[in-house]
Structure 1
Amino acid sequence: MKIPINLASQPFRRGRAMLVASLAVSLLLVGTLGVLISLANADSKQLLDVRKEVSQLDAQIRKVAAAQAQQDALLRQPANADVLERSVFINSLLLRKGISWTRILADMEKVLPYNVRILQIHPTLNAANQVLLDMTVGSEHQDEVIQFLEALEQSPLFGSVLEHTSQPPTQSEPLYRNHVSVIYAQKL
């Protein structure tokens, strides 16, 4: 048997390396596709579990909201209105009583310069149950009051300062007087 080989018209090609590389890339792509499919399935199962948990939590929220509405309706009945008002009043008194003068003055001492005087201080609770200090401070020089206000703002215990009024010294009152308000971070 004679095999006709004409190298001039049909040159020898080295295609085996290209064929092996193509086969390896194909297998790699098929493997990657399998991994991606398994990840997609796992993700869909996880999403299904999360949706079940969310629906259970929504059901619990609806139950709690219904119970809350039922309790609110019970409290709003005319027979219970007096008890509710008294309870709110007593709770507000307890919150006011919870403001510690000792802590206020100790914390104020940390930021108060030696030459600034607190002439008046009045703590109150705002709507968000935060302690609001309404103060009148005085000093011989306005710069000292400004240092005090900056120290209040830089302290983590006090919020931003709101200055209401500023009065220069008079013949009867030799101090610069500033009326300011500041949020105090005392835990009630």
Structure 2
Amino acid sequence: MSGVRIPINLSQEPFRKDRPILVASAVTGILLMGVLLMLVSIILREREAARESREMMARIDQQLSVVNQQYAKIEAQLRQPVNSAVLDRSLLLNALLIRKGISWTRLFEDLEKVFPGNVRLVAVRPYVTGDNLVQLDMVVGAQSPEPVIQLLRRLEGSNLFGATALLSSQPPSQNEPLYRYRVSVNYAQKL
């Protein structure tokens, strides 16, 4: 007999080649387990960082409450009738210091750069707004309205001055031969 082999499968189900699928499933399972471990470690680190952030916020809130309590004590002490005169004087002196911070010499030098020769500055009153910006309230005079219009354009085009507003105007009279205009303008002098 020559060695002819005939394969015979006596089982009820045919033989399948599942080994590559099992190996691929095992490798995928190991990879997924590695990803799971990595995600768990990230979650634990983030949880620790969040706990530290909460503790820091609690410390900051505690410090803020202490500062607020100290501020309230000082404020109450300043508001007492005995100290109210000192507080009022302090506020007045601070307002005067801010107002004194406007340099008149520099103000007139800056106005001289933009004023046309035929416009006269009759009055100027600088004041500081609530935003610590300098605003000029001016009264100007001229023989005709055209030079004042030119002045307004120069003020708006200047780097030192800003938006202008014409508040009022008066025609010439027997006592005052000039057209008079009341103008408000932003001024960029730093305090």
TM-score normalised over the length of structure 2: 0.70
Farther off after superposition, 52-61 or 160-169: 160-169
Of 174, 180, 184, the residue aligned with 1:181 is 184
1:141 Cα offset (Å):
4.7
Q: Distance between the aligned counterparts of 1:118 and 1:50, measured in 2?
A: 64
2:48 is the alignment partner of 1:42: no
**Residues in 2 aligned to 1:104 and 1:12: alpha-carbon distance in whole angstroms:** 99
Deviations, residues 135-186 of structure 1 (Å, cap 9, x unaligned)? 345663565245324314xx3x54543342356789933x6x6533233343
12 and 60 in structure 1: CA distance in 2 versus 1, 3 angstrom threshold: closer
Q: Is 1:116–1:145's contact at 8 Å kept on the other side of the alignment?
A: no
RMSD (Å), alpha carbons = 3.5
Mapped partners of 2:149, 2:133: distance in 1: 29
TM-score by length of 1: 0.71
Distance (Å, rounded) in 1 between the aligned partners of 2:86 and 2:31: 75
Structure-2 separation of matches of 1:5 and 1:113:
113
| Structure 2 match to 1:74 | 77
Q: Deviations over 1:35-87 (max 9, x none)?
A: 22222211111111111111111111111111111111111111112212212
- Sequence identity (%): 38
**Whose radius of gyration is greater, 1 or 2?**
2
Q: Secondary structure at the match of 1:129?
A: coil
- Equivalent AA in structure 2 for residue 150 of structure 1: E
CA distance in 1, matches of 2:86, 2:25: 84
Structure 1 residues 141 and 36: alpha-carbon distance in aligned structure 2, compared to 1, 3 A threshold:
same
1:151 to 154, 157, 160: 157
Does 2:37 align with 1:31?
A: no
- Give CA deviations for 1:74-103 in whole Å, capped at 9, x if unaligned: 111111122122121122111111111233
Q: Which amino acid aligns with 2:154?
A: F
8 A contact 2:119–2:148 mirrored in 1: no
Match of 1:63 in 2: 66
Greater shift in the superposed pair: 127-136 or 48-57: 127-136
SS in 1 for 2:126: strand
